[in-house]
């Protein structure tokens, strides 16, 4: 397989590739390279943090106001810990494709919660289903405690339907706007009544709160429950199209090629098997077309983890991992709203471009970074007075330069350019790089990563 | 290597003497101002419940539909025999009595979309509900006036669709000094002085370079100009207060920016609405009071028009979670010194005449408000910017 194509593949299903791996894979056929990706992502490694603080705690304890407040405080900290652990995982994944897909689904089945048990369960549910059956996946999503509470489905009861989940299920998770009516939303909401969870976050169906009367959903009549609604939605080819378009825009190109998506829909609609769909995409010729290579704007996480692939680094204070994500506009486990992060050019504005271009030197050369204090709703009201308005920080990082030296020992500065950058290069910038050939390899690679071109993959 | 050596090396290696023509031309571009008026746009994000903000305290249907979340007569301050404002808005009472506030009711659009994101996009792009625009109405205002990026500033860490035009974008900025300082880093200089202009039209790469150049050119100007003025007034210690403080600093220093955009989020109250809304409206009103008084003190209020909207209102009937679901038409607040119509602009919604989903029917298209602001306040061709003709209102 061609090196440039392997690089492209690994940029999209991972976060780049080191020269040794590239050399090894370039001896293989495309089919074998793609096969290897799936094989190495066969199993699922669960991500978890220590939640023993909840041991022996019962629903009763949580009723006590002070006790509850204390638990919530610990829980929020634990969610941040999980967020950092996730970032760590992305930097050192054993199942690359599965982890990248998990990241993708986290921006599809978007959810946020403050309860660590719920968040952890949800995150691993995404991971387990990332390459599985979309039908089961969607049903699982509807039954997770984190989602039941995020979109108010646990408040959705027979006598008082709450439409929040029903609406987003169709608008954001399965069909897209304008493919259902307000009536469909109402009937769907009725079908999901009675969904609830227990204190530990396990799904709990409350028959007494379920509206078991007949409903008419997409012209079908029946005593539907939530799972039936998912089944009926999936009968619509639009669902296969909606998901295919989203995968195409994430993994291939934000500008949709309808012919390519049509092919994907045919594959996906058959069995809603995500692995089959991904295999089809990664084996197709169009995936490797020039117009798709080096043209996608990296998400903040792709950017941060991509740097790590080249020069492994570790941010010493977990809080600063979150700070960096915030400055770039994507905090893991903390999406802006149920529609998730807007991608592509939306990642880049006057602020984020500056931060991004400076970041390699901040991370790898202990430069200083400035930022403004802006908190979430909660910190905004309660903690603001207590918090210092810090404006500058040194990000404490240990960079593993020896790994870099070892991995790239055979490459000259000139060769380094094409190892690091897969997009076209502005000719003025190319001339500048030409003039800077005499820089040490370390300085040169930092400079490469500080270019607008490095924002693309 | 030591950090200092590193920076020195890369700075020297960067060809500092080559200043691209494009950048030069850009910096010398005269600011073409059509009017010295300014607009401050504030979004209450999440869909503020307008019925519990501007309260029809004599309306039986209102209390029937909302038996445990309706605002009681005692919890409003009355502005007419029928209408009271939520008690959290009390800080605005003095401004209201002075005639600085106009409340436009029943604002919406045909075939409303009840999704936050879509409805926000509709408000931000001024599109029809079945039309998907990739640029915002303020962005198109920038296109039209060929304004600098800083002609429109969003006080946030990222830029909304509203501020993105076809050829021009506004600027997202939270702190001018920090913005300026980060642009002076050697790395940034290094890249910004070497590119070849011929490539600036290339798809995403061109976008990256152009954003970089715009940021660089604007940062210095904004910093130097706004640095001359510091605030003497104490703003509430929350993010919204801080945003308004930044805007007042820009306005009072005479920065040429014409449109500002800021937001306060958290209004998506599907459950236990009362406490949340009370808290948020308080944050809103307290900050607005300080902001307007600050502008008055600096004699700049006269040139400022403030518009507060939310992407939609809530359903008339409450749900059983002591909250409300997504609704349609809502009220819009306009604040300014010489408003033509003060107080209630029009009648409150007719709660006896709802659509088939139990939602309010709109009376005024939100784009009539934009058209009025563009035409009468900013004095530009509203049809060219909104792509359509809308009748004008008479609040300014």
Of the candidates B13, B212, B283, which has its C-beta nearest A439's C-beta?
Answer: B13
With an 8 Å Cβ cutoff, are B325 and A162 in contact? yes
- DSSP label at B177? H
pLDDT of residue A337: 79
User: For residue A109, is pLDDT > 50?
Assistant: yes
pLDDT above 90 (res B198):
no
Q: Which of A339, A346, A452 sits opposite B191 (nearest CB)?
A: A452
Whole-number Å distance between alpha carbons of A429 and A450: 11
- Strand ranges (E), chain B: 38-45, 54-56, 76-78, 83-86, 101-108, 152-154, 171-172, 259-265, 304-309, 330-335, 343-344, 364-365
Q: What share of chain B is helix, strand, coil (3-state, %, to 5)?
A: 40, 15, 45
In which band, very low, low, confident or very high, does the pLDDT at B194 lie, cut at 50, 70 and 90?
confident
Q: What is the mean pLDDT of residues A203-210?
A: 96
pLDDT band for position B191 (cuts 50, 70, 90): confident
Q: Could you tell me which residues come within 8 angstroms of residue B185 by beta carbon, excluding any fewer than 6 positions away?
A: A358, A361, A367
Closest approach of B339 to chain A, Cα-based (Å):
33
pLDDT at residue B367, as a whole number:
98
Residue B187 has pLDDT above 80, yes or no: no
Length, in residues, of chain A: 457
Alpha-carbon distance A101 to nearest alpha carbon in chain B (angstroms): 24
User: How near does any CA of chain A get to the CA of B173, in Å?
Assistant: 7
Out of A163, A372, A456, the one facing B178 most closely (by C-beta) is: A372
In the three-class reduction of DSSP (H, G, I as helix; E, B as strand; rest coil), residue B349 is classed as coil
Least confident span in A371-375, B328-332, B392-396: A371-375
Q: Is the CB of residue A251 less than 8 Å from the CB of residue A280?
A: no
Residue percentage of chain A with pLDDT more than 90: 79
Structure-block tokens of residue A309: 């692939």
Residues of A in contact with B157 (CB under 8 A): 326-327, 329, 351-352, 372, 374
ipTM of the complex as predicted: 0.91
Q: B265 to chain A: which residues are within 8 Å by CB? A: 377
Q: What is the pLDDT of residue A386?
A: 39
A371 confidence band (pLDDT: 50, 70, 90): low
Would you place residue B204 in the very low, low, confident or very high pLDDT band (cuts 50, 70, 90)? very high
Please give the full DSSP string across B353-376, using - where no structure is assigned: SB-TTS-BPPSEEHHHHHHHIIII
Is a pLDDT exceeding 70 seen at residue A383? no
Residues of A within 8 A of B117 (CB-CB) are 337, 339
Q: Does residue A78 surpass a pLDDT of 70?
A: yes
> Which residue, among A452, A453, A456, would best test binding to B if mutated, counting the most B CBs under 10 Å from its CB?
A452
Contact indicator for B266, B46 with CB cutoff of 8 Å: yes
Q: Is A216 helix (H, G, I), strand (E, B) or coil?
A: strand
pLDDT digits (tens, 9 = 90+) for B266-292: 999 999 999 999 999 999 999 999 999
- The percent of residues in chain B predicted with pLDDT above 70, rounded, is 91
End-to-end CA distance of chain B: 62
Residues B314, A73: Cα–Cα separation, whole Å: 31
pLDDT band at A69 (very low <50, low <70, confident <90, very high): confident
pLDDT of A338 reads: 85
What is chain A's percent helix, strand, coil content, to nearest 5?
60, 5, 35
User: Nearest chain A Cα to B118, which residue?
Assistant: A177
A327/B157 touch (CB, cutoff 8 Å), yes or no: yes
Instruction: Say if residue A373's pLDDT is above 60.
Output: no
The larger pLDDT score, comparing residue B148 to residue A12, is at A12
Chain A partners of B323 at a C-beta cutoff of 8 Å?
152, 155
**Does the structure show a pLDDT above 70 at B190?**
yes
Q: Which percentage of chain B shows pLDDT scores above 90?
A: 67
Q: Which residue has the higher pLDDT, A119 or B224?
A: A119
Chain B residue numbers touching A437 (CB-CB < 8 A): none
Average pLDDT over chain A, rounded to whole?
Answer: 92
State pLDDT tens for residues A403-456. Answer: 999 999 999 999 999 999 999 999 889 988 998 899 999 999 999 999 999 999
Q: In whole angstroms, how far apart are CA B32 and each of A96, A114, A305, A363?
A: 52, 49, 43, 41
pLDDT at residue B373, as a whole number: 98
Nearest C-alpha neighbor of A88 from the set A356, A361, A299, A322: A322
A45-49, A350-354, B295-299, B355-359: range with lowest mean pLDDT: A350-354
Which has more confidence, B158 or A262?
Answer: A262
Q: What is the mean pLDDT of residues A379-392?
A: 42
Mark residue B354 as left, alpha or beta (left: phi above 0; alpha: psi -120 to 50; beta: remaining).
beta
Number of helical (H) and strand (E) elements in chain B, helices listed first: 13, 12
Structure tokens that stand for A296 in this block: 């996608």
- Distance (Å) from the alpha carbon of A45 to chain B's nearest alpha carbon: 34
Residue A222 has pLDDT above 60, yes or no: yes
**Average pLDDT for A199-222:** 96
Which residues in chain B are contacts of A452 at CB distance < 8 A? 191, 205, 208-209, 212
d(CA B394, CA A101): 53
Q: Judge: A423–B205 Cβ closer than 8 Å, yes or no.
A: yes
What lies within 8 Å, CB to CB, of A170 at 6+ separation is: A179, A180, A184, A185, A188, A233
In which band, very low, low, confident or very high, does the pLDDT at A392 lie, cut at 50, 70 and 90?
low
Query: How far apart are the C-alpha atoms of B393 and B280, rounded to whole Å?
Result: 29
Mean pLDDT for the stretch of residues A127-144: 98
Backbone phi, then psi, for A99, in 5-degree steps? -70, -40
Dihedral pair phi/psi, residue A365, rounded to 5° = -130, 20
d(CA B174, CA A372): 7
């Amino acid at each position: 397989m061609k090196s440039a194509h392997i690089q492209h593949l690994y940029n999209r299903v991972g976060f780049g590739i080191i020269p040794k791996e590239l050399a090894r894979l370039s001896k293989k056929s495309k089919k074998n390279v793609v096969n290897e990706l799936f094989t190495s992502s066969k199993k699922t490694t669960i991500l978890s943090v220590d939640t023993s603080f909840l041991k022996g705690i019962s629903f009763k304890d949580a009723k006590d106001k002070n006790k509850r407040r204390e638990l919530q405080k610990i829980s929020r900290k634990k969610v941040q810990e999980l967020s950092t652990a996730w970032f760590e995982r992305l930097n050192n994944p054993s199942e690359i494709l599965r982890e990248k897909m998990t990241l993708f689904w986290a921006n599809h089945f978007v959810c946020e919660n403050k309860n660590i048990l719920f968040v952890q369960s949800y995150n691993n549910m995404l991971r387990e289903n990332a390459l599985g059956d979309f039908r089961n996946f969607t049903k699982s999503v509807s039954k997770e405690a984190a989602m039941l509470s995020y979109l108010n489905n646990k408040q959705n009861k027979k006598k008082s339907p709450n439409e929040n989940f029903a609406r987003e299920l169709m608008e954001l998770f399965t069909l897209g706007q304008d493919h259902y009516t307000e009536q469909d939303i109402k009937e769907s909401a009725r079908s999901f009544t009675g969904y609830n969870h227990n204190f530990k976050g396990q799904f709990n169906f409350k028959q007494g709160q379920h509206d078991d009367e007949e409903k008419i959903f997409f012209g079908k009549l029946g005593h539907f429950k939530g799972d039936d609604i998912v089944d009926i939605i999936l009968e619509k080819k639009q669902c296969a199209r909606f998901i295919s378009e989203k995968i195409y825009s994430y993994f291939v190109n934000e500008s949709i090629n309808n012919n390519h998506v049509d092919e994907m829909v045919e594959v996906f609609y058959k069995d809603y098997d995500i692995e089959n769909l991904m295999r089809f995409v990664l084996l197709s010729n169009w995936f490797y077309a020039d117009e798709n290579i080096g043209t996608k704007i990296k998400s903040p996480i792709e950017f941060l983890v991509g740097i790590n692939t080249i020069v492994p680094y570790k941010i010493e204070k977990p809080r600063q991992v979150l700070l960096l994500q915030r400055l770039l506009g994507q905090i893991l486990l903390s999406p802006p709203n149920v529609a998730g992060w807007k991608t592509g050019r939306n990642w880049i504005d006057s602020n984020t471009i500056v931060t991004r271009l400076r970041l390699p030197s901040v991370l790898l050369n202990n430069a200083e970074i400035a930022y403004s204090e802006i908190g979430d709703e909660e910190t905004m009201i309660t903690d603001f007075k207590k918090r210092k308005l810090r404006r500058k920080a040194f990000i404490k990082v240990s960079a593993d330069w020896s790994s870099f030296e070892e991995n790239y020992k055979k490459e000259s500065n000139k060769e380094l350019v094409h190892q690091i950058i897969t997009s076209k290069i502005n000719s003025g910038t190319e001339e500048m790089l030409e003039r800077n050939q005499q820089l040490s390899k370390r300085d040169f690679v930092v400079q490469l990563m500080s270019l607008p071109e490095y924002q693309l993959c | 290597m030591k950090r200092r050596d590193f920076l020195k090396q890369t700075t020297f290696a960067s060809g500092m003497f080559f200043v691209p023509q494009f950048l030069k031309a850009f910096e010398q571009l005269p600011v073409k101002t059509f009017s010295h008026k300014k607009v401050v746009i504030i979004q209450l994000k999440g869909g503020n419940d307008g019925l519990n903000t501007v309260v029809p305290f004599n309306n039986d249907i209102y209390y029937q539909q909302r038996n445990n979340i309706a605002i009681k007569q005692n919890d409003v301050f009355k502005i007419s025999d029928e209408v009271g404002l939520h008690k959290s808005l009390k800080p605005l009472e003095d401004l209201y009595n002075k005639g600085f506030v106009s409340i436009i009711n029943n604002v919406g659009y045909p075939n409303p979309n009840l999704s936050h994101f879509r409805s926000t996009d509709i408000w931000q792009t001024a599109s029809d509900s079945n039309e998907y625009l990739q640029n915002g109405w303020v962005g198109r205002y920038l296109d039209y006036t060929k304004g600098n990026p800083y002609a429109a500033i969003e006080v946030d860490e990222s830029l909304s669709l509203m501020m993105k035009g076809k050829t021009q974008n506004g600027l997202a900025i939270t702190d001018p000094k920090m913005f300026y300082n980060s642009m002076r880093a050697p790395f940034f200089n290094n890249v910004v002085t070497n590119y070849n202009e011929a490539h600036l039209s290339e798809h995403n790469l061109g976008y990256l370079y152009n954003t970089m150049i715009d940021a660089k050119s604007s940062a210095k100007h904004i910093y130097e100009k706004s640095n001359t003025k510091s605030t003497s007034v104490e703003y509430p210690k929350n993010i919204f207060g801080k945003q308004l403080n930044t805007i007042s600093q820009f306005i009072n220093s005479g920065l040429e920016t014409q449109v500002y955009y800021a937001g306060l989020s958290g209004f998506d109250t599907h459950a236990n609405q009362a406490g949340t809304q009370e808290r948020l409206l308080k944050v809103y009103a307290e900050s607005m009071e300080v902001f307007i008084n600050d502008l008055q003190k600096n004699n700049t209020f006269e040139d400022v028009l403030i518009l507060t909207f939310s992407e939609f209102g809530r359903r008339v009937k409450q749900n059983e979670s002591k909250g409300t679901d997504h609704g349609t038409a809502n009220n819009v607040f306009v604040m300014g010194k010489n408003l033509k119509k003060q107080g209630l602009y029009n009648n409150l919604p007719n709660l006896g005449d709802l659509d088939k989903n139990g939602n309010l029917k709109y009376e005024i298209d939100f784009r009539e408000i934009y058209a009025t602001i563009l035409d009468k306040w900013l004095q530009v061709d509203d049809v060219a910017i909104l792509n359509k003709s809308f009748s004008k209102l008479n609040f300014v």
